[in-house]
Amino acid sequence: MSLRVMIVDDEPLAREKLRTLLAKEQDLEIVGECRDGAEAVSTIARIAPDLVFLDVQMPEIDGFGVLEALEPRSLPAIIFVTAYDQYALKAFDVHALDYLLKPFDRARFQKALARARAELERERTDVSDHRLRTLLQHLRSKDPFVRRLVIKESGRVFFLRVEELDWIEAAGNYVKLHVGSEHHLMRETMRALESRLDPERFVRVHRGAIVNLDRVKELRPGLRGEYLVIMKRGEEIASSRSQSERIRALLK
């Protein structure tokens, strides 16, 4: 049975090189090529390849952003294609994930492919998924707070910079992201999203609302120690008494 393979790279020559090398492997079938991360997220979710050659450095949504946007259980086997320096590559070695360092030759390509084949023959396990997630945490550890959110909406995938957010509202199993006159739904819990945001900028004023302090126009104290948060666009959000101390501390 042939392995279904995808190529994701923003460089045409890099895609051509991989295509040429893969064409010489009789047990592989190229089922897709993507030029950027957004296209990769939707295509991987739609066609479910067995193996993806994934470029790390891409504009807008990089290789790590692609992995973060996919459902953990739907992750294919990954061979990273990267121009990272040797120091950063130690992270890939530590977590037993293979990579091709640009420029690579046919011998190195075949070594990575053999490793991927062996993993797929053993069947994908939770161990493989855990390695990917741990690698992401390792490489992101220098910047623990998210800077961009991946939004899947109306058949498209795009990034939203967190500084563009005005405030965030709880909406059942989703959160509603208020951005100017627009809003976007994202499948996430308030608690999980709050943990990923910089607490110096984003404050949870009550159970169902997180505000971007840069978008706050005014705070009006209430009779019982709570505040009425007035946003620059005019929205009024009542804080809970339990969050009043946090808000007062930020004011100081």
Determine contact, residues 69/90, Cβ cutoff 8 Å.
no
The full set of domains in the chain, from first to last, is: 3-140 (3.40.50.2300), 148-251 (2.40.50.1020)
* pTM, to two decimals: 0.58
Rounded Cα gap, residues 113 and 109, in angstroms: 6
Determine contact, residues 183/189, Cβ cutoff 8 Å.
no
Strand intervals (E) in the chain? 3-8, 28-34, 51-55, 77-82, 99-101, 148-153, 156-161, 167-171, 174-179, 182-186, 202-206, 209-212, 216-221, 227-231, 236-238
- What tens-digit pLDDT sequence spans the chain (252 residues)? 688 999 999 999 999 999 999 999 988 999 999 998 888 988 998 899 999 999 988 877 788 888 877 876 667 888 888 876 654 565 565 444 677 888 889 999 998 898 888 877 765 555 555 666 666 665 555 556 777 887 877 777 777 888 999 999 999 888 999 999 999 998 888 888 888 888 888 999 888 999 998 998 888 887 777 788 899 999 999 888 777 777 777 665
Determine contact, residues 4/49, Cβ cutoff 8 Å.
yes
Query: Please, what's the largest Cα pairwise distance for the chain?
Result: 75
